[in-house]
Structure 1
Amino acid sequence: MRVCNEGFDKEFINEKSDMYAIAFTQNVLSGRWKYFILWFLKGETRRYTDIKKFLGGLSQGSLTNQLKELENDGIIKREVYPEVPPRVEYSLTDKGIKLLPILEKMTDFGKEYGEKPEFDEG
C-alpha cells in the first residue's frame, strides 16, 4: 500500500477499495488524542477549555492541531461566539456521529481483552 502526502495512490483506491476504506478511516482518526476528543464530544457541545482540562497534560498547540484536523475532515464543528473573551465551542457533525460506533466497538474490545489493573486492597 502506498499512501503519499497528497492522498492515496489511485491504483490502490481502485484495486483495493476495502483496504482503502480502512486506510482512509485510519487516516482521519490518526493522532493520539482524536479518539478521546470524539468520545468527550459525543452527545454534548464542549468548550475548548473543557476539552483541554479533560485531556490533562496535552499542550495547547497539540490540542489545537488535533481539533483543526478533525474540523478540516468535517468530523467536528467549531463555533466562535463574538464575546469578550471569545467563547469557542466544539461539537460533532453528522459525519463525526457516524464514527461513534467505531469507538463503541473499541470500548467493547478493550473491556473484553484489555488488562485489568490490579489494585492493592491493603
Structure 2
Amino acid sequence: MNERKEDELCLISIREALEVVRGKWSFLVLSLLSLGPQRFNQMRRNLDNISIKSLTDVLRHLEQYQVINRQVFPTVPVTVEYSLTDKGREYIPVLQQMRIWGENWGEHPKLVDGRETSLQYK
C-alpha cells in the first residue's frame, strides 16, 4: 500500500475514534464508567455540572457506538445501570494516554474545575 493511502486510512481511523468522544461529556462519562458500573443518578452526582438532558444525550450516543451497555432491572421504580462493553473497555488505554498528555502538557494537570480530580483509571 502506498504511503498516501496509508495516511488517509490512518486519518479515517482517528476520526472514527474521536467521534466516540465528541462533545463535552463523553470523555468524562467513559472515564467514570472505567471505574465500574454506575446508575444514572450516581453519574449525575459525580458529574455535578451535567444536566439531565446532556447526560441522557451522551449516554444514548455512547450506547449507539456500542461502547456502553444499558441494563434495566425490573425494580420499583425501575433501576438502570450503565457499564462499559468490551469495546468500551478497549478505549481505556486511549483515555489513559489522553490523561498522560494532559498531565504533561495541560495548563492545570492536577485540577478539574478548581478541585483535585478523583477519576482514576483501572
Residue aligned with 1:58, SS:
coil
- Relative to the length of structure 1, the TM-score reads 0.80
- Relative to the length of structure 2, the TM-score reads 0.80
Residue aligned with 2:98, SS:
helix
In the alignment, the residues of structure 1 paired with residue 49 and residue 11 of structure 2 have an alpha-carbon distance, to the nearest angstrom, of 35
Deviations 1:29-79 (A, max 9, x none): 111101111111114111111111111121101100000010010000000
Give the corresponding residue for 1:112.
104
| Structure 2: tracts of 5 or more residues without a match | 111-122
What is the Cα deviation at residue 113 of structure 1?
Answer: 1.4
Q: Larger RCO: Structure 1 or Structure 2 (Cα < 8 Å, ≥ 6 residues apart)? A: 2
1:40 pairs with 2:32: yes
Among 34, 40, 52, the alignment partner of 2:44 is: 52
In the alignment, the residues of structure 1 paired with residue 16 and residue 32 of structure 2 have an alpha-carbon distance, to the nearest angstrom, of 22
Give the corresponding residue for 2:55.
63
In the alignment, the residues of structure 2 paired with residue 51 and residue 35 of structure 1 have an alpha-carbon distance, to the nearest angstrom, of 13
Structure possessing the higher radius of gyration over alpha carbons: 1
Number of residue pairs the alignment of both structures matches:
106
- In percent, how many aligned pairs have the same letter? 34
Q: Which aligned pairs between 1:1-122 and structure 2 lie closer than 5 A?
A: 16-116=8-108
| Structure 1: tracts of 5 or more residues without a match | 1-12, 118-122
In the alignment, the residues of structure 2 paired with residue 57 and residue 83 of structure 1 have an alpha-carbon distance, to the nearest angstrom, of 28
After superposition, the Cα gap between the structure-2 partners of 1:52 and 1:18, relative to the gap in structure 1 and judged at 3 Å, is same
Q: CA RMSD in A?
A: 2.1
Residue aligned with 1:32, SS:
coil
